Amino acid sequence: MRVSKLITRLVTSVMITGITAMPATLTAQGADSTQRVPSSAIGDSNTSAPASSDDWTARVLGTQVNIIGQDLRPFRSPYSGPNSLRARGDSKISHAYGGYIGVQAWRNLQGYLDVEMIRGKGISSVTGLAGPANGDVLRQGTFDLGNGPYVARAFIRYTVSLAYDRLDTLQRSVDQLPGIVSKHRIEITVGKLAASDLFDLNRYANSTRQQFMNWDLFQNTAWDFAADTRGYTNGVALAWIHPLWILRVGTFQMPTVANGNKFDSDLRRAHGDQLELTVTAPATGTVARILGYMNHARMGNYAEALTIARFNGSIPDIAADGKPDRSKYGWGVNVEQPLADNGETGAFARVGGDDGRNESFVFTEVDRHISAGVQVSGAHWGRTDDRIGIAGAETGIAKIHREYLDAGGVGFLLGDGRLAYGPERLIEAYYRAQLGTYLQVSPDMQYIRDPGYNRDRGPATVYSLRINIRY
């Protein structure tokens, strides 16, 4: 009964969205994909295309509506806590709306503005899972952000060509104006954006609106990247791009508190830094990315919070233990491997970790991450634009983090009151059907063992239906 009601609500939402959104979005210039295509993607094209003019004319790079309906089935749970996944089940629908604009200010300087709006909620208020099931409702369980439009990104990109013997043709996409650039260049990006727009990219597992929905599969969740509650930050990034490799470094603002929506203005003691090397093997098409990061912020320390609680005979509170200039460091390795169909069939894998001593502060509560999966093109069954994806992930936390949760402590996503620890394991599968030019429909299933790292609870199953309309 719950599933039928969810489908009815989802269809009603799509009908309303189509009526209200279509007239405003038909003027867009046909963005090729809602998946972000980085300007620094390694390519081998030497074809020519008209370079963008510097007439300050704003161009609509795309608009989209993304609707996700999810149904969490009831599961076994002998107990629960303040941040537990709801064992009785839950059904929710989220709506995401976006408009993306770019302007060519000068030949080497571009500006971008993205306006988005997210309505609806995630299952269980986006708590209870280390890998939440819906990437469109990032961390809204802690802060009420409202449901009005907001500026998601507002940044500039400056390009310095280092050689002109080989050129790269950049296609129009979200936050990318079309044009021709040198394959050997430097890019400087400054402004408001998501650190994940630039780092830890993967062709087969990067977009919650077209690929996998679970956080563990579109990101290395052990990378606690600098961001506010919605996932955006302010900062600067520098990329040195070569035909065979990219070296990228970035520094971004950190929030004042875990999962906070305000940034710390003390940049000397609160910032998130990352360094990533991307290498490609032209013979096989393999792309590998090696990431390292270091965060500084007003974090709590798990061991100290436990010591204070034991002394006072109370429940540990990591949020009350925050001290400035504490740090967290971590790493990640990310590989994508094209297999067939001009790269539309391929495989991916990620592995990552962090030191786990101080508070999980920004993204989610994960200290160890491993994931892998495949994407298969519909060309094999006569539907060239369709895709199937299937992947799995396993995440874990450090021993001191486990002790904190077992003592009744809560983080910004987890807290069952006690803990019989086990790694959280996930399998997700989706089918993305392309229906006409603008519409994609994707049924999806997620099966999660030991939700919130707790062997006493679960397994949990989430059924989803995603509808993406894009122009």
Tens digit of each residue's pLDDT (9 = 90 or more) over 206-255: 999 999 999 999 999 999 999 999 999 999 999 999 999 999 999 999 99
Tens digit of each residue's pLDDT (9 = 90 or more) over 90-122: 999 999 999 999 999 988 999 999 999 998 889
Q: Give CA–CA dist 190/197, Å, rounded.
A: 13
Strand intervals (E) in 311-413: 323-340, 345-354, 368-377, 387-396
Task: Tell me what the mean pLDDT of segment 294-314 comes to.
Answer: 96
Model confidence at 471, pLDDT cuts 50, 70, 90, reads confident
Tens digit of each residue's pLDDT (9 = 90 or more) over 65-93: 999 999 999 999 999 999 999 999 999 99
Contact between 100 and 60 (Cβ < 8 Å): yes
Token pair of 125 as six digits = 């208020």
Checking if the pLDDT of 26 tops 70, the result is no
Q: Give CA–CA dist 160/182, Å, rounded.
A: 9
Lowest mean pLDDT among 13-27, 150-164, 327-341: 13-27
Q: Give CA–CA dist 270/420, Å, rounded.
A: 34
DSSP structural state of residue 464:
E
Q: Give CA–CA dist 73/67, Å, rounded.
A: 20
Q: What 3-state class would DSSP assign to 148?
A: coil
* Cis? peptide before 243, omega within 30° of 0: no
Contact between 420 and 405 (Cβ < 8 Å): no
pTM of the model: 0.86
Buried b (16+ CB within 10 A) or exposed e, 302-323: bebbbeebeeeeeebebbebbe
Contact between 378 and 390 (Cβ < 8 Å): no
pLDDT of residue 163: 84
Q: Give CA–CA dist 470/31, Å, rounded.
A: 8
Token pair of 168 as six digits = 């790269």
- 2-470: CATH superfamily: Carbohydrate-selective porin OprB (2.40.160.180)
Q: How many CB atoms lie within 10 A of CB 145?
A: 15
Token pair of 176 as six digits = 């990318």
| Between 23 and 379, the higher pLDDT residue | 379
Task: Tell me what the mean pLDDT of segment 356-375 comes to.
Answer: 96
Q: Give CA–CA dist 214/428, Å, rounded.
A: 8
Provide the CA 453 distance to its chain's centre, in angstroms.
21
pLDDT of residue 432: 98
Dihedral through CA 56, CA 158, CA 166, CA 286, nearest 10? -120
Contact between 53 and 102 (Cβ < 8 Å): no
Buried b (16+ CB within 10 A) or exposed e, 39-53: bbbbeeeeeeeeebe
pLDDT of residue 5: 52
Q: Give CA–CA dist 183/169, Å, rounded.
A: 9
Q: Give CA–CA dist 371/173, Å, rounded.
A: 27
Q: How many CB atoms lie within 10 A of CB 436?
A: 7
pLDDT of residue 10: 45
Lowest mean pLDDT among 21-35, 178-192, 422-436: 21-35
pLDDT of residue 62: 92
Strand intervals (E) in 20-89: 58-72
Checking if the pLDDT of 50 tops 70, the result is no
pLDDT of residue 164: 79
Provide the residue type at 186 as one letter: I
**Nearest CA to 403 among 310, 328, 326?**
310
DSSP, residue by residue, 197-251: GTSS--TTS--TTTS--SHHHHS-TT------TTS-EEEEEEEEEETTEEEEEEE
Contact between 254 and 270 (Cβ < 8 Å): yes
Provide the residue type at 24 as one letter: A
DSSP structural state of residue 171:
P
Contact between 239 and 307 (Cβ < 8 Å): no
Q: Cβ-count burial of 430 within 10 angstroms (0-12 exposed, 13-18 middle, 19+ buried)?
A: buried
Tens digit of each residue's pLDDT (9 = 90 or more) over 394-403: 999 999 999 9
Token pair of 306 as six digits = 């436990």
pLDDT of residue 2: 53
Checking if the pLDDT of 334 tops 60, the result is yes
Lowest mean pLDDT among 33-37, 290-294, 332-336: 33-37
Checking if the pLDDT of 28 tops 90, the result is no
Model confidence at 283, pLDDT cuts 50, 70, 90, reads very high
Contact between 227 and 233 (Cβ < 8 Å): yes
Q: Give CA–CA dist 43/169, Å, rounded.
A: 8
Tens digit of each residue's pLDDT (9 = 90 or more) over 156-192: 999 999 987 788 888 888 999 998 999 999 999 999 9
pLDDT of residue 225: 95
Q: Cβ-count burial of 16 within 10 angstroms (0-12 exposed, 13-18 middle, 19+ buried)?
A: exposed
Model confidence at 45, pLDDT cuts 50, 70, 90, reads very low
Mean pLDDT across the chain, nearest whole number? 88
